[in-house]
Amino acid sequence: MGVLDIGSNTVHLLLVDAHYGAAPIPASKLKIPLRLAEHLTPEGNVDDEAVEMLIDFIRKSQSLAEDLGVSELMAFATSAVRDAGNGINVLTRVMNETGIQVEVLSGEDEARMTFLAVRRWFGWSAGRLLVLDIGGGSLELASGVDEEPDVAVSLPLGAGRLTRTYLHNDPPTPDELRELRKHVRASIASVVGKIQRGGTPRISVGSSKTLKQLARIAGAPSSSEGLFVDRKLTLSSVKRLVNELSVIPVSERALIPGVSEGRAEQLLAGAVVAEAAMELLGIDEVSICPWALREGVILHRMDGLPT
């Protein structure tokens, strides 16, 4: 089984040897840092160059999937396509030229699928979970005691979106950082009551690439040590990182071990979102989950297969 994730930063193919009741362990991966959200015209449409690059990548993904005997290839898109003025036209062109039908997930669906992946990773013994996922275009928050969250919300607070909107200098000016923090905190504060209404989580979890990188540069084990190593990110570490990242240029951030060059520019905005979310939701520490949206989509599909 394969899943093609058309995100704001990256287009990512994940292939797994899947069967009912099994963990979606990767058999192969392929990705391209397309950055769809940066390929927008002044009218808010995805430009032709990005669409052509997307179609080319999908064709390569189809070829790899066929070579590895994939029997089902699912495709979904998130906020970059969801918010684009010509999103429907882009997906129609993809369908006509590749035969792939792409499902556009709502922000709430993103939160729900990610929550499912986190629940399966940590299991029922984790009790009530609170899940944070900081993407390129949006922030997803979900909380619950079952596999379906009690509450799932999405806010337009992605690290890439905020960087483009608020952080124009390198490094940003104090006024830019202040305006960013003000906007982020006001947006998250508007949903805190809704998130907390269900009760206090037993475990708070971070599942995005942004939170994984923040944890890594705060001292968590590297990815080379495997999936099953315990990784955590504390609020105190996030606060320190916001201060440190805000005064160094992107070129220096990219040299920090654990930071990918493609995400170095967005890391500060991501840290600001993480700081605000953790502080306003009363979270002192998040556990980092290696599974996220792609795994959630696969698990959801596998649950619907006949046994």
Asked whether the predicted pLDDT for residue 22 surpasses 90, the reply is no
Could you tell me the CA-to-CA distances from 189 to 1, 84, 95, 136 in Å, in that order? 39, 26, 40, 20
pLDDT at residue 238 tops 90? yes
Per-residue pLDDT at 304 exceeds 90: no
- Give CA–CA dist 267/78, Å, rounded: 20
R_g of the chain computed on alpha carbons: 19
Quote the CA–CA distance of 220 and 203 in Å, as a whole number.
Answer: 18
Counting residues of the chain whose pLDDT is more than 70, the rounded percentage is: 99
The DSSP secondary structure of 123-135, one letter per residue, reads -GGG-SEEEEEE-
148 with 243: CB under 8 angstroms? Answer: no
Q: What pLDDT shows up at residue 68?
A: 92
Q: Is the pLDDT of residue 307 over 70?
A: no
Please, what CATH class does the domain formed by 2-104 belong to? alpha beta
CB neighbourhood size of 168 (10 A): 10
pLDDT at residue 250 above 80? Answer: yes
Contact between 288 and 233 under an 8 Å Cβ cutoff? The reply is yes
Q: What is the pLDDT of residue 70?
A: 92
Task: Name residue 40's beta-bridge partners.
Answer: 46
pLDDT, residue 91, reads 96
Using pLDDT thresholds of 50, 70 and 90, give the confidence band for residue 24. Answer: confident
Which one, of 138, 40, 34, 139, lies nearest residue 85 by Cα?
Answer: 40
And the tokens for 116?
């499912």
What are the start and end residues of each CATH 3.30.420.150 domain in the chain?
107-294
- What is the 8-class DSSP label of residue 241? H
Q: Write out the DSSP string of 260-306.
A: -GGGTTTHHHHHHHHHHHHHHTT-SEEEEPS--HHHHHHHHHHHTS-
Q: How far is CA 9 from CA 26, 66, 301, in A?
A: 20, 25, 24
Q: How many residues does the chain have?
A: 307
Average confidence (pLDDT) over 65-80: 94
pLDDT at residue number 142? 98
Average pLDDT of the chain? 95
Q: pLDDT higher for 211 or 306?
A: 211
Q: With bands split at pLDDT 50, 70 and 90, how would you rate the model's confidence at 18?
A: confident
Asked: is 107-294 a CATH 3.30.420.150 domain? The reply is yes
The tens digit of pLDDT for each residue in 253-281 reads 999 998 988 899 999 999 999 999 999 99
Q: Which uninterrupted H or E stretch holds 203?
A: strand 203-206
**pLDDT > 80? residue 305:** no
Q: What is the pLDDT of residue 306?
A: 67
pTM above 0.85, yes or no: yes
Indicate if the pLDDT at residue 251 is higher than 90: yes
Exposed / middle / buried, residue 117 (Cβ in 10 Å: 0-12, 13-18, 19+): buried
- Amino acid, res. 300: H
Peptide bond into 172 cis (omega under 30): no
pLDDT over 90 at 99, yes or no: yes
For CATH 3.30.420.40, the residue range(s) in the chain are 2-104
Picking from 12-16, 22-26, 61-65, which range would have the lowest pLDDT averaged per residue? 22-26
Specify the pLDDT at position 137.
Answer: 94
Q: pLDDT tier at 182 (50, 70, 90 boundaries)?
A: very high
